Structure 1
Amino acid sequence: MSFPVILASASPARLMLLRSQKINPIVIPSEINERQIEEEHKSQSTEVIVEKLSIAKANYVLENNLSLDKGVLIAADSMLEFESKSFGKPLNANNAIERWKQMRGKSGILHTGHTVIRLDNMQTISRVVSTKVQFANVDDEEIFAYVASGEPLQVAGAFTLDSLGAAFVTQVQGDHSNVVGLSLPTLREIVRDLGLSWTSLWEMA
């Protein structure tokens, strides 16, 4: 019998990653004010910010769904650390264009904070995973076309690794799935540390 999994995120990429592992979560997105939390902690490291955001997302869903008492709740947040700055989702198209002009031909570190709560005893574990990403030296035309697609406006760092943005990333050093939105190896370790089997989350036909 599989344990229910709640995903505290509206991210299609995170949902896709879990489904690729035979995990079909109940999606309950959090509605926290991410930009407010980012602003409150802007003097701290990107790793600290994504961890705090993932904890806030998990707590929001838990506090607004008091009937949740079985299985695991997974929350996550990603940001790109680039030249000592923390890049979440771009504010608008012009901001995305500006970022890409800075990022092209250079590298950044994609940090994802993960918070997992075992709902029957409320045991909670949070971990941050970091992956180095090298960006292609894209030209202005490619940047304008990519931003016009709308994709960069929806994601941390203004790029994806599982869709159009993949062609603009030349190298990934570390966990590939972490860049997509969830570190699957890390989630497995957290689930085991919570006293559960990773395969118990699989949805059996």
Structure 2
Amino acid sequence: MPRLVLASQSPARLATLQAAGVTPEVVVSGVDEDKALADAAERFGELDPADAVLVLAQAKAEEVASRLEEARDDADPDGSTPEADGPDDEGPTDVIVIGCDSMLEVDGAIVGKPADADAARERWRSMRGGKAVLHTGHWVVDLRDDTAGGTGGTIGSTSSTTVWFADIDDDEIDAYVATGEPLHVAGSFTIDGLGGPYVERIEGDHHGVVGISLPLLRELLAELNVPWRTLRTP
């Protein structure tokens, strides 16, 4: 069974995978997001939101993959392959790395996590009664060696879901922001937490709003010859 490494510290992404029967290891990336976006804009020009999240997902997945490869090389300098890989090995040879990033697009502008409670309140006042698009970039890096069926592939795609918000009043917004939840998530809301009652409907994959689209991830893994069923924890 391939070992999945999630290059994200998001509890929601981890919980979504676990609910689907997959228990990944978590290795948080050290990517400077502002620099990664600036570098990409310099190379490719202005990025739209769907491309921006894909750039960051790729940067996170590849940064973690690079660290794991370095650990493998350091642990096995002669290039030999260990007979078996346990969960505590520093140099796994059967790993698939997944990076994700999410941004909310409101009226054509990208919004991430709010700077503070005032910013979260203002964002909700602008979103209430309206709609926005939640973009989540996914990037997958195949670090498996030949004996584990590795392809050496590195691929990605973006899930985009339209979200319609309830027309809530200022008191409701103040109460929601006071919970602290909107301060820690892109777009200042969740669909799977305290913000759920304020989302009237969506168009697209609701998992993508949480932060990781399971159907899209299954398709990306299939392109790397990794059937979803092989990831489920026995």
Residues 39 and 159 (structure 1), Cα distance of their counterparts in 2 relative to 1, 3 Å cut = farther
Deviates most, 144-153 or 67-76 = 67-76
Matched, 1:161 2:160: no
**Shift in Å, 1:36:** 3.9
| TM-score, normalised by the number of residues in structure 1 | 0.94
* Partner of residue 129, structure 1: 159
**Shift in Å, 1:3:** 1.3
State which of 65, 79, 103 in structure 2 corresponds to 1:79.
103
State which of 56, 59, 65 in structure 2 corresponds to 1:56.
59
d(CA) in 2 for partners of 1:98 and 1:35? 23
Deviates most, 71-80 or 29-38 = 29-38
- Give the RMSD, CA atoms, in angstroms: 1.5
SS of 2:222's equivalent in the other structure is helix
SS of 1:22's equivalent in the other structure is coil
Matched, 1:90 2:117: no
d(CA) in 2 for partners of 1:60 and 1:17? 23
**Shift in Å, 1:62:** 1.5
Given that 2:164 and 2:200 are in contact with CA atoms closer than 8 Å, whether structure 1 keeps it comes out as yes
d(CA) in 2 for partners of 1:107 and 1:190? 28
d(CA) in 1 for partners of 2:93 and 2:109? 38
SS of 1:131's equivalent in the other structure is strand
d(CA) in 2 for partners of 1:195 and 1:17? 22
| Matched residue type, 2:66 | E
- Runs of at least 5 residues in structure 2 that lack an aligned partner in the other structure: 73-91, 145-150
Matches within 5 A, 1:1-205: 2-38=1-37, 41=41, 43-66=46-69, 67=72, 68-120=92-144, 121-204=151-234
Given that 2:62 and 2:141 are in contact with CA atoms closer than 8 Å, whether structure 1 keeps it comes out as no
**Shift in Å, 1:87:** 0.9
- Runs of at least 5 residues in structure 1 that lack an aligned partner in the other structure: none
Structure of larger gyration radius: 2
Render the CA deviation track for 1:78-135: whole Å, top value 9, x for unaligned.
Answer: 1011101001111111111111110000000000000011112431111001100000
d(CA) in 1 for partners of 2:168 and 2:11? 26
Render the CA deviation track for 1:119-171: whole Å, top value 9, x for unaligned.
Answer: 12431111001100000111111111111111111111110011000011001
**Shift in Å, 1:9:** 0.5
d(CA) in 2 for partners of 1:55 and 1:107? 27
**Shift in Å, 1:46:** 0.3
